[in-house]
Amino acid sequence: MQWSVIFKREMMEYVRSIKWIWVPIVFFIFGIMDQITMYYLPKIIDATGGMPEGAEVNIPSPPPAEALFMSINEMNTLGILIIGLLSMSLIAGELKSGVYELVLSKPVKYANYVTAKWAALSTLVLASFFIGLLAGWYYTNILFGELAIDKFLVAFLVYGLYLLFFITIAIFVNTWFKRPGMVLFLSILLIIFVNIITSILGHFLTWSPGHISSYVSTYLFTGNITTEMWGTIGTTIVLIIGLLYAAVEVLKRKEL
């Protein structure tokens, strides 16, 4: 009841601040950008010229699995940045502006406050990611050859989990710092840290969330969901729950 009140208010804010329009559009562009450029690259090179007479432009067309993965690659960089921007003032902004004084002087359960905000942002991001990846899959099919719909769905679900993991990191950082810029910086630093540790100690940390995108890539090529991938999914879910719990506890104890 109280949870859904907060969730609905967040949604209302996303509607009023037209986030429900621009975020899906941005993710849509990320989803199709690479496929379109890749497809038209030979024509672009032709048109702009500069190639010696008689030289043949021969860029091999990527297999469909690789083409779809290009969408995910965009999410991995620009998408993460956008999510960081969306989440940097989710709680920190309210602490900074002082709105929390009115909201948290009501008998609001901290767990409701944190998880409802988390869920609202997750809904926006996952919906936008779905649109972006769907568009990427559609263009892959048209331009580079057929790719089964279950490949798209599994890629959406598994990589979506990685995006949720990042949102949760950002929410956790939100409860520590009041300055949105600081929150953005630290959230991105943390996710980069997870990825660096994973690539250094990759052999030991086979279940690290940092592997998700490479596992998704393997899956797109082979179609097999490996044990490591299940392990990673499990770890990521556990980490998400743990970070949410920690965020609630930090906020509860915080000197507001």
Partner 1 sequence: MSLMEVDGLTKAFDGKEVVKDLSFGLKTGTCVALLGPNGAGKTTTLRMLAGFTHPTAGTIQFDQQSLTTDIRQYVGYLPQFPTFHTWMSGLEFLVYVGQLSYLTNAEATDRANELLEKVGLEDAKKQRIKKYSGGMKQRLGIAQALINKPKLIILDEPVSALDPIGRREVLNLMMDLKKDATILFSTHILNDAEEVSDELLLLHHGELVEQGALENLNHLDQTGKIQLNFSVYPEKLESQLKNLSSIKHIKPVGQGVEVVVSDMDVARIEILQLVMTKEWPLTKFEQAKTTLEDVFMKVVNS
Return residues touching partner 1 (CB under 8 A): 1-2, 5-6, 9, 12-13, 16-17, 97-99, 101-108, 255-256
**Residue 3: C-alpha distances to residues 46, 78, 98, 108, 246 (Å):** 57, 31, 21, 9, 18
Nearer to partner 1, 9 or 239 (CB): 9
Q: How many Å apart are CA 105 and CA 51, to the nearest integer? A: 68
Minimum CB distance to partner 1, residue 237 (Å): 29
Minimum CB distance to partner 1, residue 42 (Å): 48
CB atoms under 10 Å from CB of 174, counted, come to: 28
User: Which two structure tokens, joined as six digits, stand for 23?
Assistant: 């975020």
Cβ(46)–Cβ(57) below 8 Å: yes
Minimum CB distance to partner 1, residue 1 (Å): 7
User: Which two structure tokens, joined as six digits, stand for 58?
Assistant: 């021969």
Nearer to partner 1, 15 or 157 (CB): 15
User: Which two structure tokens, joined as six digits, stand for 111?
Assistant: 């767990």
Nearer to partner 1, 203 or 253 (CB): 253
Minimum CB distance to partner 1, residue 10 (Å): 10
Nearer to partner 1, 105 or 224 (CB): 105
Nearer to partner 1, 104 or 143 (CB): 104
User: Which two structure tokens, joined as six digits, stand for 127?
Assistant: 């919906």
Cβ(136)–Cβ(68) below 8 Å: yes
Q: How many Å apart are CA 38 and CA 68, to the nearest integer? A: 12
| 127 CB-near residues (< 8 Å, 6+ apart) | 24
Minimum CB distance to partner 1, residue 14 (Å): 11
Minimum CB distance to partner 1, residue 101 (Å): 4
Q: How many Å apart are CA 38 and CA 35, to the nearest integer? A: 5
Nearer to partner 1, 116 or 243 (CB): 116
